[in-house]
Amino acid sequence: MKSTLQETDKKFLWHPYTQMHDYAARDLLIIDRADGLMLYDLEGRSYFDTISSWWCILHGHNHPTIKSFMHRQLDRLDHVHLAGTSHEAAILLAEKLIAITPEGLSKVFYSDNGSTACEVALKMSLQYWRHSGQAQRKRFIGLERGYHGDTIGTMSLGGVPDFHKEFAEILFASFTVPSPYCYRCPMAQNPETCRLECLQPLQDLLENEGENVAAMIVEPLIQAAGGMRIYPARYIKRLAELLRQYGVHLIFDEVATGFGRTGRMFALEHAGVTPDFLCLSKALTAGMLPMAATITSDEIYQAFYGAYAENRTFYHGHTFTGSPLAAAAALGSLQVFAEEKPLARLGATIAHLHQKMARFLDLPWVGDVRCLGMIAAIELVKDKQTKEEFTFAERVGWKIYLKGLEQGLILRPLGNIVYLWLPISTTIAEIDEITERTWRVLAAADNISGALCNKPHGIRVA
């Protein structure tokens, strides 16, 4: 069976973010089943899902509470469009989302994935300003290496060059300001004495172009796909103040960070900031089904509310917007929060994870270790003092991925960044096992080509 599936996969499937040539003479990893933190292949070998299956598995795989919600929903209603027709699961979920998000956010617009959640926010902001008599506000601001999805609109805002450079000629123009990359500070500041000098380019831009800007989109506290760049909450607080000063909408992309991953329900809580738009997906359904939500204020909503002849309607939607099954999965996940109270025990779990990560700085090819909640990132370098990077051609991440499989780990490095993105259900014992196996992978010199030993850099925890 295994060989048949391998051959059929290679014949018909095109995998995302994957160079299929890598598997011309190599077997793909075919997963047969999952339970908790573990994935099992066709031969029964187990692997820790250390990246939560692209950052979406929240309470572990196949959680019984979530499955029960989905089963009950399937017995009642499989699907119905949400354009003027509604259903109980979507309604109840919207009510619960408003209850757990910051005061001032009051309307939920559903879509299918993180890219569309962000795209919806961009389009809502642009149309809001048109309806409000400020049609000149049609520019957007993003951070360097900001990642908000792979649609044309979201790729136009910041972008990860390795992912998006091939599409540059079809992207719309936007403003980009430096990323708060503390390990490689764009302003050459020391993280311990930094006064947020990296926000000066944004302030300068707003002084010159603020009246033409509709919104700025950021991933609060961590640029994930852009290199797991973790930065302080005070940056977000000051950024929000600047945007308010110039009347620019703030869009928080919490597609990856929402629902406890940073130690709080939403990353924005660390800074005490309420955005104009909050974009959610991935862990919204605890990874069970695709779903997304863009949550905004009544002020934004009212700009679209009026007689049909006024033509204020927001013409955006997707076939599976507000899917009954996906909404049921999300309700099941929120029930897990209510019954099992994972946030209450996360403090000790997070502290243990951060402590276990500290020793990786002893390795000569580890330049930086950065942690946020249940997320930990290790930046590999050739030289600790110069912070020289491994080249694209050296492909260190691929070697680590393969070595990780030998240790029963699903590691999927982002270039030179090896990271753990763990479910909030992860136990202390599981952290011990995962970090020990990761140590075995990274401590072996033959797994990391060209590494040199120099003075270590200090650990940074957000």
pLDDT band at residue 455 using 50, 70 and 90 as cut-offs: very low
Per-residue pLDDT averaged across 286-302, rounded? 98
More confident position, 454 or 437: 437
Supply the pLDDT for residue 160.
85
- Residue 17 falls in the annotated catalytic set: yes
Alpha-carbon span 11 to 357, nearest angstrom: 41
Distance, in Å, from the CA atom of 175 to the CA atom of 455, rounded to the nearest integer, reads: 37
- Of 1 and 140, more confident: 140
pLDDT of residue 404: 97
What does the pLDDT read at residue 445? 77
User: pLDDT category, 451, cuts 50, 70, 90?
Assistant: very low
pLDDT at 456 over 50: no
Q: Of the listed 49, 231, 282, 384, which one is catalytic?
A: 282
Are 216 and 142 in contact, with CB atoms under 8 Å apart?
A: yes
Which CATH superfamily does the domain covering 2-62+342-461 fall into?
Aspartate Aminotransferase, domain 1 (3.90.1150.10)
How far apart are the C-alpha atoms of 181 and 176, rounded to whole Å? 14
- Overall average pLDDT of the 5-11 stretch: 95
Above 80 in pLDDT, residue 458?
A: no
List all residues 6 or more positions away from 308 whose beta carbon is below 8 Å from its beta carbon: none
Please state which of the ranges 127-136, 360-369, 445-454 shows the lowest mean pLDDT: 445-454
Catalytic residue among 2, 17, 298, 362: 17
Q: How far apart are the first and last CA of the chain?
A: 47
216 touches 205 (CB < 8 A): no
Mean pLDDT (the chain, rounded): 94
Q: Which of 47, 128, 147, 181 is catalytic?
A: 147
pLDDT digits 0-9 by tens, 10-33: 999 999 999 999 999 999 999 999
285: three-class secondary structure by DSSP:
helix
Q: Does residue 282 carry a catalytic annotation?
A: yes
pLDDT class of 449 with cuts at 50, 70, 90: low
Report the distance separating Cα 260 and Cα 421, nearest Å. 12
Confidence label for 103 from pLDDT (cuts 50, 70 and 90):
very high
pLDDT single digits (tens) 152-209: 999 999 878 888 889 999 999 999 999 999 999 999 898 888 999 999 999 999 999 9
Helix or strand run (H / E) with residue 215: strand 213-218
Angle at 250 between CA 244 and CA 252, to 5 degrees: 145
Selection from 124, 86, 103 nearest residue 327 by Cα: 86
The residues spanned by each domain of the chain are 2-62+342-461, 65-339
The reply to whether 123 belongs to the active site is no
> Is the domain covering 65-339 a CATH 3.30.365.10 domain?
no
Is residue 136's pLDDT more than 50? Answer: yes
pLDDT in tens, 232-258: 999 999 999 999 999 999 999 999 999
The pLDDT-based confidence of 453 (bands split at 50, 70, 90) is very low
The pLDDT, as a whole number, for residue 321 is 96
Asked whether 75 and 50 are in contact (CB, 8 A), the reply is no
User: Which H or E run contains 461?
Assistant: strand 460-461
Does the annotation mark 253 as catalytic?
yes
Task: Indicate the SS3 state at residue 407.
Answer: coil
Instruction: Name the least confident of 152-166, 288-302, 437-451.
Output: 437-451
Q: Give the pLDDT score at 446.
A: 78
d(CA 286, CA 336): 10
Average pLDDT over residues 101-127: 98
- State pLDDT tens for residues 67-89: 999 999 999 999 999 999 999 99
Q: Note whether 417 and 227 are within 8 A (CB).
A: yes
pLDDT digits over 378-417, tens only?
A: 999 999 999 999 999 999 999 999 999 999 999 999 999 9
Look at residues 102, 120, 154, 77 and name the one whose alpha carbon lies nearest to residue 293.
120
CA 31, CA 41: separation in Å to the nearest integer? 4
Structure tokens at 397: 């991440």
Q: Average of pLDDT values for 289-312?
A: 97
pTM passes above 0.85: yes
Closest CA to 321 of 116, 54, 96: 116
- Residue 457, pLDDT score: 39
Please identify which of the residues 253, 356, 382, 419 carries the catalytic annotation: 253
